[in-house]
Structure formats: C-alpha cells, structure tokens
A and B are shown apart, each in its own frame.
Chain A
Amino acid sequence: EDQVTQSPEALRLQEGESSSLNCSYTVSGLRGLFWYRQDPGKGPEFLFTLYSAGEEKEKERLKATLTKKESFLHITAPKPEDSATYLCAVQAASGSARQLTFGSGTQLTVLP
C-alpha cells in the first residue's frame, strides 16, 4: 500500500527564515511526486511534479527535490504570503491507476 508521511505537521517561521518541509514515501514504483499548496477554504494549487531521483524544480522562493525515499520542499526567505498548507502526493506507476495518495500536509505560518 502506498504511503506518504509529511513532517513537520506545523511549522512557524519568521519572515526571511529559510527552512525545509519533508515528504517521505513508499510506493510500488513511482510515476510522479507532486507538491501542492492549499489555502484555507480553497482547492489545492499545483506547484511541482518530480519524476525521478535527483530531479529539482524551482518556483520563486520554493525549490523541490527528490530522492528515492523522500522529497523536500525548501522555502528560501519566506514571506507571510507563503503561509498555507503544503501537500505532498505520490502517483504509482503500477497498473492503470492514476490516483494520488496524499500526505496529511504541513501547515506553514510565516510571521512578519
């Protein structure tokens, strides 16, 4: 069974204080690992897709990396508007399934 574990559950940072969010996963063959941002009362917003170990992607203050067992979302010099819940999800390569298995998320609060 595919599993995704995110840590920490919650993270409070001062504006400008860089940090990383962790996503550990077990999956029977990885098709893709996805990062989303979710604001309260809204649907998840797509951030990144990573397909293979060693891959990295960047968008503004965010950088996602992938190894064979985990992914990190690095946040450099965060701003209050980066406050949100960040969700990690995996998609297995086996069979025709295209569903995502989500982690429970990391709630990030950036204080001004």
Chain B
Amino acid sequence: GAVVSQHPSWVICKSGTSVKIECRSLDFQATTMFWYRQFPKQSLMLMATSNEGSKATYEQGVEKDKFLINHASLTLSTLTVTSAHPEDSSFYICSVLRESYEQYFGPGTRLTVT
C-alpha cells in the first residue's frame, strides 16, 4: 500500500481568504498525485493531476487560477484555494499513484468557508 497524510484535517476560513492544504506521501516517492473534492452524499470528483516538477493538469470546469497546485517534491503536493467562497466548502482528498497504477488516498481535509 502507501501511507498518505493531509494537513490540516479540517479548516474554517473567512470568505475572500486563501487556504493551503498539504498532501504528503510518507513511504513512497510519488511522481503523480491527484486532488479530488467530494460533496456530501456524492462520490469523488477529480479536480487535477499533480505531476512532480511540472504544471498540474486540471479537469474540465476546474479553475486553475482558483485552485493552485504545487508538486514541489516527490513527497509533497499542495492545493491552495485562493479567494475562497462558501461554495468552495467541501471535502478535499488527495491520492498517490503507485507503480501498480493503484491509488492510495489521504484522510481528507474538510474546508468550511464562512
């Protein structure tokens, strides 16, 4: 498997501020990580693919200027939600892609924008 951590586990911020979420691969050097968001009672929706040393690839409909992704090392990817608004409130989950093409997920970060 793989051990993936996220920080923070939950965060509350005011509308208009920015929030950074960290995703760490603790036991594997991950070239590729993914970022998902999940609304209550719904399944996971892929937001972007994070590639170490290069620009992230965003899914259609995801604003790249609003959701900034930085994959600066093989163990760390960050998602920054800029100028957050209440509609950005959601559960954000990252995953690590292993060489077997299996994805292992972090515990998630609950973002609430007031």
Contact = CB atoms under 8 A, between A and B. Distances in A.
B100 A49 contact: yes
B92 to A, nearest CB: 10
Given A98-B97, A99-B34, A45 B105 contact: yes
Shortest 6 CB-CB distances between A and B: which pairs?
A43-B105, A43-B108, A102-B43, A44-B105, A104-B43, A43-B93
Given A49-B100, A98-B32, A41 B108 contact: yes
Interface in A36-59: 36, 41-46, 49
Interface of A: 31-32, 34, 36, 41-46, 49, 87, 91, 98-100, 102-105
14 contacts: A31-B101, A32-B102, A42-B107, A42-B108, A43-B93, A43-B95, A43-B105, A43-B107, A43-B108, A45-B105, A46-B102, A49-B100, A98-B101, A102-B43
A99 B34 CA distance: 8
Nearest to A88: B43
Interface of chain B, main secondary structure: strand
Chain B interface category by residue count: 20 to 34
Nearest to A36: B105
Contacts of A34: 102-103
B104 interface: yes
Given A41-B91, A46-B104, A98-B32, 10 more contacts: A32-B101, A43-B6, A43-B105, A43-B107, A43-B108, A46-B105, A49-B101, A49-B102, A100-B46, A102-B43
Q: Determine which residue in A32, A43, A100 has the highest number of CB atoms from chain B within 10 A of its CB, and name it.
A: A43
Contacts of A44: 44, 93, 105
Contacts of A98: 32, 49, 97, 101
Nearest to B91: A41
